[in-house]
Amino acid sequence: MANLESSNLEFSATEIMTVAASRLLQNGTVCFVGIGLPSTAANLARLTHAPDVVLIYESGPIGAKPTVLPLSIGDGDLSLTADTVVSTPEIFRYWLQGGRIDVGFLGAAQIDRFANINTTVIGPYDNPKVRLPGAGGAPEIAAQAKEVFIVLKQNKKAFVEKLPFITSAGFLDGGDAREKAGITGGGPTAVITDLGILTPDPVTRELTLTSIHPGVTVEQVREATGWDVKISPDLKVTEIPDADALAALRDLQARTAKAHGQSTSSEG
């Protein structure tokens, strides 16, 4: 837990990551949400500074307002609390391919320096060490949303020099490779981790550390990254979570744990 005397607030690395990610969502944004950390951050935004954010899930809910965090895209609470529910083909064809998604909010098992992500396998595809959950709708979201936020914890197993498999395209080999490949969406604009926030260089598209969380050192970030990570000369310190955001996040997690018969913890 981080403890800043000036604020008298204690928060975990996972909590500041989640709050920092939620702050990126603006009110009224149409957001295509992934399950897990992206859903936590997006729903926290809805419960705090962005009450009119429109959350869309792959299974068809539009304007979902779940009372607890969903276990999967098929969680009934998403449909029960949505403004409307449409078919999955309509979500992808009309909303995503039609250019109506402002933000795609994704998680990942692994990421590389150009924000390509892997959620398919660890190790060789034909004989993997670990078979991951797979692509789902992430490749399409990463390709066609106007911008993409990616949230995951930072360590050398997750931030790797070379991905064993590219599930969803970031900026491919960097530079204008994404545009040359005919990928229409804007691509990743922020990668939010438990150590800081990385954003792509406007020319090379390589991820650069632009904000570091309080109490974290640049050396810690370097040690948790599988390549020589670029550090912005204008490196900022992430704003600490405010009391209201922390209370909303903890209440959401407690309700979720109770609903799903689980224990809850803010450590991470």
Distance between CA 68 and CA 259 in Å, rounded? 7
**Alpha carbon of residue 228 to chain centroid:** 22
Q: Is residue 147 flagged as an active site residue? A: no
Residues 231, 217: Cα–Cα separation, whole Å? 12
Count CB neighbours of 222 within 10 A: 13
- Tokens standing for residue 152: 């995951």
Alpha helices (runs of H) in the chain, residue ranges in sequence order: 13-23, 37-47, 76-80, 88-90, 138-144, 177-180, 218-223, 243-260
Residue 176 DSSP SS3: coil
**What does the alpha-carbon distance between residue 126 and residue 123 come to, in Å, rounded to a whole number?**
9
Q: Of 58, 179, 219, 223, which is the active-site residue? A: 58
Distance from C-alpha of 166 to C-alpha of 53, rounded to nearest angstrom: 30
Helices 13-23 + 37-47 axis angle, to 10: 60
Q: Report, as residue numbers or ranges, the catalytic residues.
A: 58
